[in-house]
Amino acid sequence: MRGASAPSRGAGRDHQVPARAARDAPEVPEAAVSCADEDAVDAVISWFAHAGRDLPWRHEGVSAWAILVSEVMLQQTPVVRVLPRWQEWMELWPTPADLADAPAAEVLRRWDRLGYPRRALRLQECARAIVREHGGEVPRGEEALRALPGIGEYTAAAVTAFAHHGRAVVVDTNIRRVLARSRTGHALPDRSYSAAERGLAARSLPTERLRSVAWNQAVMELGALVCTARSPRCADCPLAAGGCAWFAAGRPAPVEDTRRRQAFEGTDRQMRGQIMALLRRGGSVSDEQLLDLDREDVPRVHRCSASLVADGLAVREGGSLRLP
């Protein structure tokens, strides 16, 4: 199914919302008075209808739980890496109750190399809260969603829009970039998500609920596929003809960011990932095996091992670490 629904890091379904879902979706108060450019909204939604990717969490009939899982997995992780893991998780744990009862060690193994493995345990905590407090059904409404473990502003809004077809201000890095270029003429958004950006996103959201869902889906996909950070394909953009201030201004270069960025090589995050890889393969790892990861910086190995234990990702057992 083409144009099925969301972004490179989002979930959702086809923007033609089923009648039953439309009836069941909660009414969400407008976050701000909409000043959406209706021609631009039409152009982006029409583009998405034929250009949107066919991803399984966008298919008709996918559960709200499956969409929530996809949203958590897609945080800071490309679709190509998420897709096989999501499919495997949905086969193993198709409901919150299934994941709630799973051994934590198996959850971490199946998370594989998605990165930030603490997300896997938080997702299991979320599943247990859904079972305990909501009868095993993903709750409706952003407030109820944000009360779940590990669910923040973006995920609550995305699940509200893409799973429950409610009006919500969904903003990820892709949407931020499209709005920065099309509405303000800036090449890139600021590094930090500001109140001004939040207000712009709210004002850009169409007033009508189902139209707002379609816009969220489409504009996020536009940022993922066309209005990319490094190589935007303006010739393929539905906004280039008159809906993009940045393109109209001649695509001015971004303001140079002089802040230094830490390289991944040699970081604690890299070491933690190496330790987790060993644990996933064997279930446990001896201290000697851990030291083999970096004999020249033993304190770093100890520090990273201890941090995994503190995060609940590993358990210290004598002279070894094991999965919880």
Please spell the DSSP secondary structure of 110-123, one letter per residue: HHTTSS-THHHHHH
Position 261 pLDDT exceeds 90: no
Give CA–CA dist 323/308, Å, rounded. Answer: 10
Position of tokens 């559960």? 63
The whole-number pLDDT of residue 248 equals 96
Give CA–CA dist 170/205, Å, rounded. Answer: 9
Q: Using 50, 70 and 90 to split pLDDT, how confident is the model at 76?
A: confident
Q: What is the pLDDT of residues 173-212, one digit of tens each?
A: 999 999 999 999 999 998 889 999 999 999 999 999 999 9
40 contacts 182 by C-beta, under 8 angstroms: yes
Residues carrying an active site annotation: 71
220 contacts 53 by C-beta, under 8 angstroms: no
- Of 18 and 290, more confident: 290
The proportion of the chain whose per-residue pLDDT surpasses 70, expressed as a percent, equals 87
Element (H, E) at 284: strand 284-286
Position 18 pLDDT exceeds 80: no
Give CA–CA dist 98/66, Å, rounded. Answer: 12
Tokens of 129: 């809260």
pTM of the model: 0.82
239 contacts 247 by C-beta, under 8 angstroms: yes
- Hey, what domains does the chain have and what are their CATH numbers? 19-223 (1.10.340.30), 268-322 (1.10.10)
State the average pLDDT for the chain.
Answer: 88
Q: Using 50, 70 and 90 to split pLDDT, how confident is the model at 22?
A: very low
The proportion of the chain whose per-residue pLDDT surpasses 90, expressed as a percent, equals 75
Alpha helices in the chain (DSSP H): 19-24, 38-51, 64-73, 79-92, 96-100, 104-111, 118-134, 142-146, 153-162, 173-179, 195-204, 209-225, 245-248, 268-282, 287-291, 298-310
Q: What is the pLDDT of residues 226-243, one digit of tens each?
A: 999 999 999 999 999 888
Give CA–CA dist 194/53, Å, rounded. Answer: 30
Question: Which residues, 6 or more positions from 315, have their beta carbon under 8 angstroms from its beta carbon?
Answer: 309, 321, 322, 323, 324
The whole-number pLDDT of residue 30 equals 45
What spatial distance separates the first Cα and last Cα of the chain, rounded to whole Å?
40
With the C-alpha atoms ordered 122, 126, 131, 136, is the resulting torsion angle positive or negative?
Answer: negative
Q: What is the DSSP letter of 264?
A: S
Position 275 pLDDT exceeds 80: yes
